[in-house]
Structure 1
Amino acid sequence: MQIIMKAKYLIITMALLALACSLTSAYDPSPLQDFCVAVKDPASALFVNGKFCKDPKLASANDFFLSGLNIPRDTSNPLGSNVTAVNVDNLAGLNTLGVSLARVDFAPYGLNPPHTHPRGTELFIVLEGTLYAGFVTSDGDAGNRLFTKMLYPGDVFVFPFGLIHFQLNVGKTKAVAFASFSSQNPGLITIANAVFGSDPKINPDVLTKAFQVDKKLVEYLQKQIWLSNS
């Protein structure tokens, strides 16, 4: 009887372990775009949460190669910064690997304005110049705490997944940094662009109450040309 009971418990234990393993592997894939509206006819689909895959037999070294990140970018815009993304759109071999990269150039006093990456954490390293960088925590966890740091060549700073962050060149010379992301397409939401430059415009009554400012100020901001440095 004891042997039968031990065998029974062993079978139950193995079944529970198998169920746990199946549950840990049965998760939804991370989104790679803002949304993915389902279609019933596959012929009308563009992709499945990312990009279609090339036949591995047809792949070449060039699918995993990109040059030119050593070239300074034009920062003669109102923001004084320029972001050069390296993602699945220009480096096909990144597809499904969950990583991407960007070069960020700053003019003197240039700004990479407050923004978020809704699908990835950012690891930021300064190569040249002096940058003031920071991020703001979410409403609930730490009450919108601001974390900032002065960054110099060789310094690394992490911007956690989805949090609003920024970088400002506080020096009189240009600055250069590289950023890596935990997604092949981390996405970008520039706060001012999204709030005041949406298409169509957000009802001014919404923003007037949200920001507790005069409606004329909201309407003025909505008339401005909001730029993206990406």
Structure 2
Amino acid sequence: MQVIKRTYVDAMQGLGTLPPLAGLARRGRDDDPYGWRHWVASLFAIYETDRMIALDLPWWNVAATRAVAEFLGARPRARVFEYGSGASTVWLARRAQEIFTVEHHEKWMRRFERQTRGHANVTLLHRAIANGPGRAEPARPADPYVGAIDEVGGEFDLIVVDGRERAACLARAVPHLARGGIVLFDDSGRARYRSAIEGCGLVETHHYGRSYCVPYPDHTSLLAHGPC
């Protein structure tokens, strides 16, 4: 499966360098960000964060992205915390007043130091995962990565759960969610996340369908104290 995935990613990234498709990517940001041309352009940006940033998109479900954009558009002073740095970090920085993003992978984080350099409203945090990335055990209470939101402190209008240890991160995030705020939980259709989502005490709006960077429908959920 990993070989198939790597072959697909390499093929799409390579196709994205061909002049007609590179031109599509260059024009993509001027298109409807939720339209089909923009989505097609995103397919050639898979795992290429520079291309995703140029297209101005996160790797989320398209409908959920629109909902978050509208939410932030009504809150120009929004404070955001993000588990898992990526192209979404820059997308958020263009739409919110203050972003804190935590990443466990040091080499990946160093890449985003360059990509967020022009955004003074972004604070990058490198914090280790106590159990080690990819382990099956739940994160320990003192896990620096999961606990980064406590370290920053305060309430957030938007909290993004899109990195490691997502169930533990969601549980830690809920007390920091401002009244009227939302949690974006990506890949929310995965069975291992459902009990955490359903037991978190928030109301879920589940988006399933066209998603950036992948050719198949995928899931992103928005969680709030009331319907969102």
Structure with the larger RCO, 1 or 2 (CA within 8 Å, 6+ apart): 1
State whether TM-score is above 0.5: no
Greater CA radius of gyration, 1 or 2? 1
Bigger proportion of residues as helix: 2
TM normalised by structure 2 equals 0.33
Bigger proportion of residues as strand: 1
